[in-house]
């Protein structure tokens, strides 16, 4: 897999880039692009099989990466990875906090409250009001999407501070700006990412570490495909709603994040930019739908 803008860039050459969630659709594209630009890329994720696919694409192009499976909410595991990388490759220069996700058990199937919420659902697997949601799943989504960004930042940004600087890129969402129906914990966690980005940006500025976030619009990946699209490749009812509210009239593609990612990571292009969240959304946020 390669992209037209994935060419060697001396700014990245030989520097260490850590990408969490590197087995996913969006972050695998970012990892491949950074490797093509000359970075030494550390691929972190819970599933080795997914990381191996990303690694195969990078190594197949003659670029450099290493697999480091691990849970981003486990600080001990992240510290072990950090120590190995620093010993063998040197300090982290770029951190992409892409790990995250949702859990269907934490989502309601009902869009709004009704009198049915006063009684337990007879079939919570397919009919869930707010009071039927599995709270352990709710907490898991919050932990993965918030602490799964904070913990890698605690571990890898310390290396940046000691080495004299770096850049962090967090992953926000359309839910950062508007809580979409059914996905309360995911929306809460992504709103928190924008706030964390602002906090950490001002905190780390004296160490010459810039912290920004990107907010992808609706892009079809493994997680979203089942509720945005039908098995035959058409749009689900929810997918049709998204398209109606997206002026570009389509879902985005992973490669369309790469220019913004490059801009936010590259000190030569955005050295005076820190603490912001940039939407890449086909106009979704500016559309009132009327």
Catalytic residue ranges: 186
Tell whether the model's pLDDT for residue 44 goes beyond 90. Answer: yes
Distance CA 202, CA 188 (A): 22
The dihedral over CA atoms of 116, 121, 127, 130, expressed in degrees to the nearest 10, equals 70
Q: What is the pLDDT of residue 288?
A: 76
Output b/e per residue, 187-214; b: 16+ Cβ within 10 A: bbbbbbbbebbbebbeebeebebbbbbb
Q: Distance (Å, rounded) from C-alpha 211 to C-alpha 84?
A: 24
Query: Which structure tokens are listed for 251?
Result: 């879902």
Kind and range of the H or E run holding 81: helix 75-88
Mean pLDDT of 49-62: 98
pLDDT at 5 over 50: no
Per-residue model confidence (pLDDT) at position 8: 55
**Is 90's pLDDT higher than 70?**
yes
- pLDDT of 4 strictly over 50: no
- % of the chain exceeding 70 in pLDDT: 95
Choice among 71-80, 191-200, 209-218, 243-252 with the minimum mean pLDDT: 243-252
Which tens digit of pLDDT belongs to each residue from 69-89? 999 999 999 999 999 999 999
Contacts for 134-141 with beta carbons within 8 Å, 24 or more apart? 134/105, 134/106, 137/103, 137/105, 137/106, 137/185, 138/106, 138/184, 138/185, 139/185, 140/103, 140/106, 141/101, 141/102, 141/103, 141/106, 141/185, 141/186, 141/189
On the question of pLDDT at 27 being above 80, the answer is yes
Q: Has domain 16-105+145-217+252-283 been given CATH number 3.40.190.290?
A: no
The mean per-residue pLDDT over the stretch 38-59 comes to 97
Q: Are 274 and 200 in contact (CB under 8 A)?
A: no
- CA 121 centroid distance within chain: 33
Residue 179 above 80 pLDDT? Answer: yes
Please give the residue that has the higher pLDDT: either 96 or 241: 96
Q: Under DSSP, is residue 261 helix (H, G, I), strand (E, B) or coil?
A: helix
Nearest in space to 37 (alpha carbons), one of 2, 13, 17, 70: 13
What is the torsional sign of CA 161, 162, 167, 168?
Answer: negative
Domain borders along the chain are 16-105+145-217+252-283
Q: How confident is the model at residue 290 (pLDDT cuts 50, 70, 90)?
A: low
pLDDT attached to residue 220 = 77
Query: Which residue in 160, 36, 30, 32 sits closest to 96, CA to CA?
Result: 30
What are the structure tokens assigned to 41, written together?
């890329």
Predicted confidence at residue 1, as pLDDT, reads 45
Contact of 219 with 251, CB cutoff 8 Å: yes
- Residue 93 · residue 156 · CB < 8 Å: no
Average pLDDT over residues 130-157: 97
């Amino acid at each position: 897999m390669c992209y037209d803008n994935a060419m060697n860039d001396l700014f990245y050459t030989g520097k260490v880039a850590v990408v969490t969630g590197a087995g996913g659709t969006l972050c695998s594209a970012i990892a491949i692009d950074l490797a093509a630009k000359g970075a030494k890329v550390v691929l972190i994720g819970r599933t080795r099989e997914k990381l191996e696919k990303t690694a195969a694409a990078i190594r197949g192009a003659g670029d450099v990466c290493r697999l480091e499976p691990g849970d981003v909410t486990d600080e001990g595991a992240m510290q072990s990875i950090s120590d190995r990388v620093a010993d063998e490759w040197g300090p982290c220069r770029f951190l992409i906090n892409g790990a995250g996700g949702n859990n269907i058990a934490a989502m309601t199937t009902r869009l709004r409250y009704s009198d049915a919420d006063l009684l337990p659902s007879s079939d919570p697997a397919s009919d869930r009001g707010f009071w039927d949601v599995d709270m352990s799943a709710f907490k898991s989504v919050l932990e993965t999407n918030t602490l799964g960004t904070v913990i890698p930042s605690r571990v890898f940004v310390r290396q940046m501070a000691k080495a004299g600087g770096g850049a962090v890129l967090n992953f926000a969402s359309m839910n950062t700006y508007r809580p979409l129906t059914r996905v309360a914990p995911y929306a809460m966690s992504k709103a928190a990412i924008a706030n964390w980005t602002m906090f950490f940006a001002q905190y780390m500025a004296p160490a010459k570490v810039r912290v920004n976030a990107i907010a992808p619009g609706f892009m079809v990946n493994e997680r979203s495909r089942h509720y945005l699209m039908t098995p035959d490749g058409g749009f689900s009812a929810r997918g049709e709603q998204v398209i109606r509210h997206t002026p570009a009239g389509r879902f985005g593609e992973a490669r369309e994040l790469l220019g913004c990612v490059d801009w936010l990571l590259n000190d030569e292009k955005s050295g005076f930019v820190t603490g912001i969240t940039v939407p890449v959304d086909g106009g979704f946020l500016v559309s009132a739908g009327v």
